[in-house]
Amino acid sequence: MKTTNLNIIPAVDKAAGMLECLGGSISGMSQAELCRSLNITQSTCYRIIQTLLEHKWICRCGGNRYDIAPGLLPVTEKLTDATRRFRHLQPQLEILSTRTGLSCKLSIRQGQDQVTILRAESPRPMAVSGRVGTHFPLIEGSVGAALLCGTEREDILSLAEACREDIAESSDPQIILKRIENLQQDGFCLNSKRNRWNVNAMSTTLSDASGHVSAALTLLGFADEFEPEKLAGLKNALQETAAQCTRLLGE
């Protein structure tokens, strides 16, 4: 089990938590609501709010409510530029979801994280869901294997060592190394049983013009949706969509 990161600055951690809360809200939040959500005192909350107001990262949006402000745009511009080139692939994800009946997502690498940048939800009434912008450790799951396909073994081991999340891949890097091997042999890898979400996932890679991995395309569902007799059909749908997305990225 990984130890807690002792190098975190509490005030910065609370400020980041406040931005996450406001980013996930529909119409902003009051100071009292932020205090409850973050479990911080009124005085700490007030000082963080004043700091973020000073940087124009948040703004007042009526009464005593606060919300994300345009001052954050320059901070997120790098990520926005990185994801903009993938937006025209959304229709392909919608087609894949309709074809398979499963949710699907497109993920990219950001440092030591994997970030969901596009999603298409399953047409079924009960299905696995999620949200764009969610991030997980880079080494986790089938997505991690796809994004790290072609990465040197030593670099993967270093990522596992540096991971602070209590996930199977951090304590046993052979899990992700085996998934990468499966992907290289079969064109896809499957994450089932051994994950903290109790969700099955099948991933493959998207490549750029130079042949380097640029994103991971993933199908998500429950265990019975990935039964052995269904895998061939899911694999074909996933790989055909990935090929189409790769072609569109090269245009």
pLDDT in tens, 208-222: 877 889 999 999 999
Would you state the pLDDT for residue 23? Answer: 87
Domain segments of the chain as ranges: 10-74, 85-250
Determine the CATH number of domain 85-250: 3.30.450.40
Per the structure block, which two tokens stand in for 145?
């294997």
SS (H, E, C) 111-138: CCEEEEEEEECCCCCCCCCCCCCCEEEC
Would you state the pLDDT for residue 192? Answer: 85
Nearest to 202 by CA among 166, 248, 242: 242
Structure-model confidence comparison of residues 145 and 207, the more confident one? 145
Determine the topology of domain 10-74 in CATH.
Arc Repressor Mutant, subunit A (1.10.10)
Query: Where does the pLDDT of residue 74 fall: very low under 50, low under 70, confident under 90, or very high at 90 and above?
Result: confident
From CA 167, how far away is CA 44, in angstroms rounded?
Answer: 32
Cβ atoms of 166 and 140 within 8 Å: the answer is: no
In tens, the pLDDT along 124-163 reads 998 888 888 888 999 999 999 999 999 999 999 999 999 9
Per the structure block, which two tokens stand in for 7?
């190098």
From CA 21, how far away is CA 3, in angstroms rounded?
Answer: 25
CB-based burial, 177-210: b 16+ in 10 Å, e otherwise: bebbeebeeeebbbbeeebeeebbbbbbbbbeee
From CA 37, how far away is CA 66, in angstroms rounded?
Answer: 14
The helix (run of H) or strand (run of E) holding residue 183 is helix 174-186
Please give the model's pTM, rounded to 2 decimal places.
0.73
